[in-house]
Amino acid sequence: MAVATQTKRDFPLDRIRNIGIIAHIDAGKTTTTERILFYTGRTYKIGDIDEGTTTTDWMEQEKERGITIVSAAITTFWIPKSGPFEGQETRINIIDTPGHVDFTAEVERSLRVLDGGVIVLDAASGVQSQTETVWRQANKYKVPLVAFANKMDVVGADFLATIQSARDRLGANALPYNLPIGSENDFKGVVDLLTKKAYIWEGDQTGAKFNEAEIPARMVDLVATWRDKLVEEISGTDDVLMEKYLNGEEISVEELKKSLRQAVIDNKIVPVMAGSSLRNKGVQPMLDAAVEFLPSPQDVSEVVGENPRSGEQEIRKADPKSPLSALAFKIQVDPHVGKLTYLRVYSGTIQSGSYLYNSSKGIKERVGRLMLMHANDREEIEEAYAGEIVAAVGLKETITGNTLCDENAPIVLESITFPDPVISLAIEPKTKSDQEKLGTALSRLSEEDPTFRVKVDQETGQTIIAGMGELQLEVLVDRMRREFKVEANVGQPQVAYKETITQTASGEGKYIRQTGGRGQYGHCFLRIEPLPRGQGREFASAIVGGAIPREFIPAIEKGVLEKEDTGILAGYPVTDIKVAVYDGSFHDVDSSEMAFKIAGSLGLSEAAKKAEMVLLEPIMKVEVTTPEEFLGDMIADLSSKRAQIQSTEMRGNARVVLALVPLAEMGGYATTIRSMSQGRATYYMEADHYEEVPKNITQKIVESSGFTGRVEH
C-alpha cells in the first residue's frame, strides 16, 4: 500500500536529518517515535503498543509481544519553533531500533548509516545494560547523540540522577539542556536552560499544545546554577567563547547554541532533555533540539573508502553531483514487492531503472524501482540523492554491508561487522512439502539477518540454525510458519561453544593413494600457534625454495579452514589460531588440489592433538533487577550457576545484581527467576565474551558430543 502524500524531492541537505532512536528495552523508544510521528503530522492518531497500533512495530510478532524486532525507517517533516531553521520545514528520516539484545544487528546496521541519534534513557532506572551496549555501538561509528530522559512521570523518576548515571556508567559528558518542572505525578513541563523559558503542558490530552510560562519561583536558583554549568562546558569547547567567558562578557544564546551544535557533532557534549512520551510531554523540545544540534548529511560531509583497483583511500563528498557511493545496510523480504535493499546514499544520485556496480562483489546490478519507506508503507520515487535513506527493488546479489557505486569511479566503503551467534538449535521440516520450502525460507531469513546463520551438520545431516538468543530464533521460526508457510520441528537450544589451542605445535599431513593409473599425493607440514582471545583465524605460507608449488597453497588453506569449521575436539568451530604451512613435498604427476586439501586437514588435526585443545564458552553479562527481600536468593542462585558477581547496586527502590554467567547455565532462567520472586524480579542478558570451559565440564561435553574428529575423504 503506497502512502498518498508525495515527499518533496528537492530538499536542501542542511535541512535533512538521518536519526535513530536507540535505548535499552522498555525505555520507551517506540512510544517516543509514535509521538514524533503524531506531532509532525505523519500520523493522525497516536499509536499504542498495548493496542498493537504503532506505526513502526508493524510485524505481527511485534504487535503480539509488544517489542520492536526489526528497525523501521520512516520519513517525516518538522517545523522547528527555535534555532536557525525556525519556521522552516526540515525532513527527518527516523529509524526506530529494537532494544532487545537478540536483535543487536538491527541497531548495529542502523547506527552505521545514521548521522545522529536520540538515546532514550529511563528516568526511573538510569543507564541500564543495553543502554551501555548501544552507547558503545554509537561510539564505534562516532554517531553524535542527544539524550531524552523519558518516563519523568513514573514513580522514582530522578532527572539529575539519570544524568549522573550517564556520566558514571557511559563516561559521557551528559549535561541537562532543560530541567523538568515537577516529577512523577507532578511532572508538567520543562525549563530551557539557554533561553530561560518554561514550557507547560496542561489540558490537551494529546500534548500537541503547550504554553510558554515564567520559570516557577522555587526553580529560579536551580536553573541559574545549571545554566552556568552548561555555559561553562559549552565555552570550554570553543576558544572564542572561552575568552569571553573568562573575561566575564555576556555570551548570546545564538553563540551558545552554535557552539553546542559543534560540540555535539564532535561528540564532546550530550545534551539531555526531560519528558514523558506516554504522557505526551517534552517531545517537541526534544525534536527541536534534534534538528538544531544533530548533524545534517552536509556536516558529515564526506565518507572515506578504498578504491578496489588501486587500493588507495578515496573520499566522497555528500554531493548529488559527485560519483555515486551507497551502502546496503538492510535486506527485507516484502510479500508485495519481493526483496527490498535499504541503501544509505552517501554521494551522487541513483535513478530508478539504472545499473549500479556492486564493488564488494565486482558485479553489476539493476535497480528496478526506488522507494521511500514509511515503516511498511512505501512511496515510489524516481531518484535518490546524497544524504537520503531509500529502499531499492531488483538487486538480486547485493547483501548487507555491500557498497554500490559508479563503475567508472569504484569505491568500497567500510562494511558492517556483526557479532558471532552464541546459541543454536536443530530444525527439521514436518512433511515432505515443507522440506522443499525450508531451504528457501532459511536462505531468505539469513539474507535479512546477518547474525542468523544456517549450516548442515556433516556428521548427522541435521540443519542447524544459530543466532544471538532464544527470542531471535523463536521469532524466526514463527516467521517461517507465517510468512513462508513452513511447519518445522525444533530441537532444544544448544550453546555455541568454540574450540581453540593453548600451545604452539607442529603436525604432518600426508595423503597418498595409488589405485591404478594416476594416484593422489599431497604432503605438508603445518605449525599452529594460539592467538589472543577474539582474534579469529589466520593462515600464512612460510614455504621457501618451492617445497610445495605455489598453486597448491590455497588448497591446503581450504583444507585447514574446512577442518577448523567442523572442529577437532568436540565438533565446534576452531578459533583464535594461526596456521602456517612451512614445508612439504609434491609429486610431479600425482599431486592435485584435492590431495593437498586433505593433507592440510590431516596436518591440522595432528598438530592440534599436541597443542592442548580447550573448549571456549560464551559468557553472558546478566543484570537481575529484584526487590530487596529476594536479593540473597538471587545471588545464591547465580553463584550456583558458576557466576562471577560483579556488583550490586540500588536503582530506584530495587536492587540490581550485575554478574557474568556462562550461557550454558542460563537455560530456563526466566521461569526460575519468576518462581523465586513471585514474578517480581526481571533480568536482562547479553553476550559479553568467550572464556575457557573448566576441564571437568569439557570432558562431559566431549563425551556427550560423540564427535569422532575424523576427516572425510
pLDDT at 183: 82
Residue 312, beta-bridge partner list: none
205 and 91 within one domain: yes
Mean pLDDT of all residues in 589-601: 93
- Binding site annotation covers 151? yes
- Binding site annotation covers 27? yes
Q: Higher pLDDT residue, 308 or 67?
A: 308
Nearest CA to 441 out of 471, 470, 474, 478 is that of: 478
- Binding site annotation covers 666? no
Rounded CA-CA distance 69/49 in Å is: 13
Q: Using one digit for the tens of pLDDT, what is the confidence trace for 629-684?
A: 899 999 999 999 999 999 998 876 778 899 999 988 988 887 888 888 887 787 87
Residue 703 covered by a domain: no
SS3 188: coil
Which cell goes with 153? 512521570
> Domain residues for 605?
499-611
Residue 711 covered by a domain: no
Mean pLDDT of all residues in 162-174: 90
Q: What is the CATH number of the domain that holds 364?
A: 2.40.30.10
Please answer whether residues 372 and 5 qualify as being in contact, where contact means their C-beta atoms are separated by less than 8 angstroms: no
pLDDT at 1: 34
- Binding site annotation covers 700? no
* Residue 237, amino acid: T
Rounded CA-CA distance 267/290 in Å is: 14
**At residue 108, does pLDDT exceed 60?**
yes
Residue 168 covered by a domain: yes
pLDDT at 380: 83
Rounded CA-CA distance 255/251 in Å is: 7
Which cell goes with 163? 544524568
Q: What is the CATH number of the domain that holds 503?
A: 3.30.230.10
Q: What count of Cα atoms within 13 Å lies in the side-chain half-sphere of residue 539? A: 18
318 and 200 within one domain: no
Nearest CA to 413 out of 422, 424, 404, 423 is that of: 404
pLDDT at 446: 82
- Binding site annotation covers 244? no
User: Helix 631-639 to helix 669-676 angle, to the nearest 10 degrees?
Assistant: 150
Residue 209 covered by a domain: yes
- Binding site annotation covers 25? yes
Residue 44 covered by a domain: yes
Please answer whether residues 320 and 386 qualify as being in contact, where contact means their C-beta atoms are separated by less than 8 angstroms: yes
- Binding site annotation covers 478? no
Which one-letter DSSP state was computed for residue 218? G
370 and 386 within one domain: yes
Buried b (16+ CB within 10 A) or exposed e, 160-187: bbbbebbeeebebbbbbbbbbbebeeeb
Q: What is the CATH number of the domain that holds 678?
A: 3.30.70.240
Window from 29-38, 270-279, 349-358 with minimum mean pLDDT = 29-38
Mean pLDDT of all residues in 255-283: 91
Q: Using one digit for the tens of pLDDT, what is the confidence trace for 346-365?
A: 888 999 889 999 998 899 99
180 and 323 within one domain: no
**At residue 117, does pLDDT exceed 60?**
yes
Residue that terminates a domain, selected from 553, 584, 611: 611
Residue with cell 599431497: 522
- Binding site annotation covers 23? yes
Q: In percent, how much of the chain has pLDDT > 70?
A: 89
pLDDT at 389: 84
Rounded CA-CA distance 99/103 in Å is: 8
- Measured over the CA atoms of residue 575, residue 577, residue 578 and residue 583, the dihedral's sign is negative
Angle at 108 between CA 49 and CA 471, to 5 degrees: 50
Residue 2 covered by a domain: no
Residue 625 covered by a domain: yes
- Binding site annotation covers 652? no
Kindly indicate the confidence band of residue 225, based on its pLDDT and cuts at 50, 70 and 90. very high
597 and 640 within one domain: no
Residue that terminates a domain, selected from 258, 293, 328: 293
Q: Higher pLDDT residue, 466 or 160?
A: 160
- Binding site annotation covers 307? no
- Binding site annotation covers 532? no
Q: What is the CATH number of the domain that holds 109?
A: 3.40.50.300
pLDDT at 49: 43
SS3 572: coil
> Which residues, 6+ apart, have CB-to-CB distance to 324 below 8 Å?
345, 347, 348, 349, 350, 356, 404, 405, 406, 409
- Binding site annotation covers 100? yes
27 and 124 within one domain: yes
Nearest CA to 396 out of 368, 436, 425 is that of: 368
357 and 275 within one domain: no
Output the average pLDDT for the chain.
83
Which cell goes with 479? 516467521
Structurally, the chain folds into a number of domains equal to 5
* Residue 90, amino acid: T
SS3 294: coil
237 and 144 within one domain: yes
Q: What is the CATH number of the domain that holds 456?
A: 3.30.70.870
- Binding site annotation covers 96? yes
Residue 8 covered by a domain: no
Q: Using one digit for the tens of pLDDT, what is the confidence trace for 678-700?
A: 877 878 787 888 999 999 899 88
Kindly indicate the confidence band of residue 292, based on its pLDDT and cuts at 50, 70 and 90. very high
Q: Using one digit for the tens of pLDDT, what is the confidence trace for 50-105?
A: 444 444 433 454 444 444 444 557 778 888 887 787 888 888 888 766 655 556 66
155 and 32 within one domain: yes
Q: Higher pLDDT residue, 458 or 519?
A: 519
216 and 125 within one domain: yes
Residue that terminates a domain, selected from 439, 465, 496: 496
Residue with cell 589466520: 538
457 and 401 within one domain: no
545 and 673 within one domain: no
Q: Using one digit for the tens of pLDDT, what is the confidence trace for 366-411?
A: 998 888 776 556 778 888 888 888 889 888 888 888 899 998 999 9
Please answer whether residues 555 and 600 qualify as being in contact, where contact means their C-beta atoms are separated by less than 8 angstroms: yes
